[in-house]
Amino acid sequence: MKILFAASEATPFAKTGGLADVAGSLPPAIAALGHDVRVVMPRYRMVDVERFKLKHVATFYVPLGSWKERCDVLEGRMGKNVTAYFVNKDIYFDRPGLYGTPRGDYRDNAERFTFFSRSVPELCRVLGFVPDIVHCNDWQTGLVPLYLKTAYKKGTAAAPRAGTVFTIHNLGYQGLFWHWDMRLTGLGWEFFTPEGIEFWGRISFLKAGIRYADIITTVSEAYSREVRTPEYGEGMEDLLRKRSADFYGIVNGIDYREWDPARDPGIARKFSASRPSGKAACKAALQKRTGLPLSGDPLLGMVTRLVDQKGIDILLEALPELMALGVQLVILGAGDEKYHRLLSDAAAKYPDRMHALLQYDDTRARAIYAGCDLFLMPSRYEPCGLGQMIALRYGAAPLVRRTGGLADTVKDYHERTGRGTGFVFDEYSASALGACVERAVAVYHDRKKWTRLMQNGMKQDLSWEHSAKEYVKIYRKAMKKVGSIQ
Ligand code: ADP
């Protein structure tokens, strides 16, 4: 099969969150099954042309509104088996951020990602690449399935028979724009209806993906059920329910080469399930690095975008209780200004117990996964979550709320049987979080039990192998459905 994977970020090129991890590891996993997989993403400022040896391969013009914009395409490699294309357009993508700054989104995101989405079928045409499947991801590529059904209808241009798959990585980001941006998209006003891509008076790029893709997926089974309810559906629950027959949940994996404590050069001492002793050195290094006392107290870690979804509010509320339990806490995060402020105030209040690093830093993230005993994800909702899976691999027991992918990937520890890989709580509240940490701390102090728990987690299979095969099955389904969505 020939597959074009369109995403707005992918490791190792550019990353703000989990989507980049998926877009950087799922395509190689599918290619390893013998398919021709290519990735397309924007060439942001942070994508270093020299470091990644990118070469110019095409120039064409993309229709946008009533005019056309020049677009250059650069080509590079993602691992050994995947070709990566970069849509190069400085006025849109040569900026410090991907989608905005800590103050908010870039104001021309509709234009930037309409341009990107529209360049996808154009790029296929110019490069003579005729994919069987175009796999789109999140709102930034939501218009692609619609373009393939309209401007690039069956038989009229490139990708004539391409089936489309649209994966929702996070329903909380919908790509909502004012109605006049319809003119930019080049789509007729007939699509600006509640049955089309209108969402309460605005255009929703996410809705375009959900409405017009042949198959829709999301990144865990639990989240695929949750988003069909008003509590988690963000207003899309009815449409998702309507499309239930074509809607699947496939849990993400993690890239085992990228996240491996036995080979990670960024951590203080390497370790593995069979040789776990290096973990203690990593903990000491993290304590030293963050100025926390070198004690045997349980060290809690968190690596996260600082946004409402992630449960920072209940964590802050539970802090006095947690500190009284005698734990240490290291948080690495970047995002909303209000959380930067609240977290640095909290860290100043508990200087010998808490440390907040308010930035995005891959090396520090690794030091935390490797050095902490417990990894916190008290999320309000979590489509899949990668942090808990990386933590499992690095011998840190995840402590999570039972939602979305957290519910699917972390098994609550059971004292009597010794089964389980972490600690799970249900209610979204500071008291439920506090009680769960208390339970975990009690287990932590029983070293025999703790070692078993750690080993359970480190041995869990979190690789892409199984899920990549599931995606291939989905692609076959999508190919059969080409032309059936009107
Ligand atoms: P989301 O996609 O909602 O951000 P995930 O748990 O799916 O959440 O993925 C988060 C990814 O981003 C993980 O690989 C995590 O290590 C990384 N990450 C998040 N915040 C930071 C940060 N401040 N510094 C370094 N890595 C981060």
Length of the chain: 486
Q: Is the pLDDT of residue 201 over 70?
A: yes
Is there an atom of ligand 1 within 6 Å of 209 CB? no
Residue-level pLDDT at 1 = 96
Tokens of 413: 């520890």
Residue-level pLDDT at 376 = 98
* % of the chain beyond a pLDDT of 70: 98
Is there an atom of ligand 1 within 6 Å of 385 CB? yes
Query: How far is the C-alpha of 272 from the C-alpha of 282, rounded, in Å?
Result: 12
Ligand 1 atom closest to Cα of residue 387: 6
The closest alpha carbon to 310, from 339, 351, 344, 267, belongs to: 339
Tokens of 122: 């154009």
Give the burial class of 414: count Cβ atoms within 10 A of its Cβ; 0-12 exposed, 13-18 middle, 19 or more buried.
exposed
Give residue 17's pLDDT band: very low, low, confident or very high (50, 70, 90).
confident
Is there an atom of ligand 1 within 6 Å of 332 CB? yes
Residue-level pLDDT at 364 = 97
Is there an atom of ligand 1 within 6 Å of 356 CB? no
Ligand 1 atom closest to Cα of residue 169: 2
Is there an atom of ligand 1 within 6 Å of 301 CB? no
Query: How far is the C-alpha of 385 from the C-alpha of 405, rounded, in Å?
Result: 6
Q: Is the pLDDT of residue 113 over 50?
A: yes
Q: Which residues contact 116 (CB under 8 A, 6 or more apart)?
A: 8, 42, 87, 92, 140, 141
Cβ atoms of 352 and 292 closer than 8 Å: yes
Give residue 482's pLDDT band: very low, low, confident or very high (50, 70, 90).
confident
Cβ atoms of 220 and 167 closer than 8 Å: no
Question: What average pLDDT score do residues 31-52 get?
Answer: 98
Give residue 484's pLDDT band: very low, low, confident or very high (50, 70, 90).
confident
Is there an atom of ligand 1 within 6 Å of 365 CB? yes
Cβ atoms of 13 and 75 closer than 8 Å: no
The closest alpha carbon to 397, from 452, 355, 324, belongs to: 452
Q: Which residues contact 392 (CB under 8 A, 6 or more apart)?
A: 398, 409, 410, 421, 422, 457, 458, 460, 462
Predicted model pTM: 0.93
User: What is the whole-number distance in angstroms between the Cα of residue 16 and the centre of ligand 1?
Assistant: 7
User: What is the whole-number distance in angstroms between the Cα of residue 169 and the centre of ligand 1?
Assistant: 13
Residue-level pLDDT at 186 = 94
Q: Is the pLDDT of residue 9 over 90?
A: yes
Ligand 1 atom closest to Cα of residue 386: 6
Is there an atom of ligand 1 within 6 Å of 386 CB? yes
Nearest CA to ligand 1 atom 22: 360
Is there an atom of ligand 1 within 6 Å of 21 CB? yes
Cβ atoms of 436 and 425 closer than 8 Å: yes
Ligand 1 atom closest to Cα of residue 252: 7
> For all residues of the chain together, what is the average pLDDT?
95
For 310-337, the pLDDT digits (tens) are: 999 999 999 999 999 999 999 999 999 9
Ligand 1 atom closest to Cα of residue 19: 2
User: What is the whole-number distance in angstroms between the Cα of residue 17 and the centre of ligand 1?
Assistant: 5
Tokens of 224: 């695929």
Report residue 246 CA to chain centroid gap: 22
User: What is the whole-number distance in angstroms between the Cα of residue 234 and the centre of ligand 1?
Assistant: 22
DSSP per position, 326-380? T-EEEEEEEE-HHHHHHHHHHHHHSTTTEEEE-S--HHHHHHHHHH-SEEEE--S
Rg of the chain on CA atoms, in Å: 23
Which of 252, 303, 312 has most ligand 1 atoms within 8 Å of CB, for mutation?
303
Cβ atoms of 152 and 162 closer than 8 Å: no
Nearest CA to ligand 1 atom 12: 17
Is there an atom of ligand 1 within 6 Å of 138 CB? no
Q: Is the pLDDT of residue 149 over 90?
A: no
Helical spans, DSSP H, in 12-56: 18-31
Give residue 73's pLDDT band: very low, low, confident or very high (50, 70, 90).
very high
Nearest CA to ligand 1 atom 2: 18
Only one residue has tokens 């700054």, namely 101
Which of 21, 171, 343 has most ligand 1 atoms within 8 Å of CB, for mutation?
21
Cβ atoms of 329 and 378 closer than 8 Å: no
Cβ atoms of 306 and 331 closer than 8 Å: no
Question: What average pLDDT score do residues 289-307 get?
Answer: 97
Q: What are phi and psi of 299, to 5 degrees?
A: -105, 120
Is there an atom of ligand 1 within 6 Å of 340 CB? no
Is there an atom of ligand 1 within 6 Å of 24 CB? no
Q: Would you tell me how many other CB atoms lie within 10 Å of the CB of residue 25?
A: 26
Is there an atom of ligand 1 within 6 Å of 360 CB? yes
* % of the chain beyond a pLDDT of 90: 94
Residue-level pLDDT at 222 = 98
Q: Is the pLDDT of residue 486 over 80?
A: no
Query: How far is the C-alpha of 108 from the C-alpha of 123, rounded, in Å?
Result: 22
Beta-bridge partner residues of 330? 301, 355
User: What is the whole-number distance in angstroms between the Cα of residue 250 and the centre of ligand 1?
Assistant: 19
Q: Give the C-alpha distances (Å, rounded to integers) separating 230 from 195, 227, 236, 482.
A: 19, 7, 8, 30
* Maximum Cα–Cα distance across the chain: 69
Give the pairing of strands 423-425 and 176-177: unpaired
DSSP per position, 219-278? S-HHHHHHTTSHHHHTT-HHHHHHTGGGEEE------TTTS-TTT-TTSSS---SSSTTH
Ligand 1 atom closest to Cα of residue 382: 3
Residue-level pLDDT at 155 = 46
For 362-421, the pLDDT digits (tens) are: 999 999 999 999 999 999 999 999 999 999 999 999 999 999 999 999 999 999 999 999
Residue-level pLDDT at 326 = 97
Nearest CA to ligand 1 atom 19: 304
Is there an atom of ligand 1 within 6 Å of 119 CB? no
Nearest CA to ligand 1 atom 9: 18
Is there an atom of ligand 1 within 6 Å of 258 CB? no
Is there an atom of ligand 1 within 6 Å of 17 CB? yes
Q: Is the pLDDT of residue 6 over 60?
A: yes
Is there an atom of ligand 1 within 6 Å of 307 CB? no
- One-letter identity of residue 114: T
User: What is the whole-number distance in angstroms between the Cα of residue 242 and the centre of ligand 1?
Assistant: 32
User: What is the whole-number distance in angstroms between the Cα of residue 333 and the centre of ligand 1?
Assistant: 8
Query: How far is the C-alpha of 365 from the C-alpha of 373, rounded, in Å?
Result: 14
For 248-283, the pLDDT digits (tens) are: 999 999 998 899 999 999 999 999 999 999 999 999
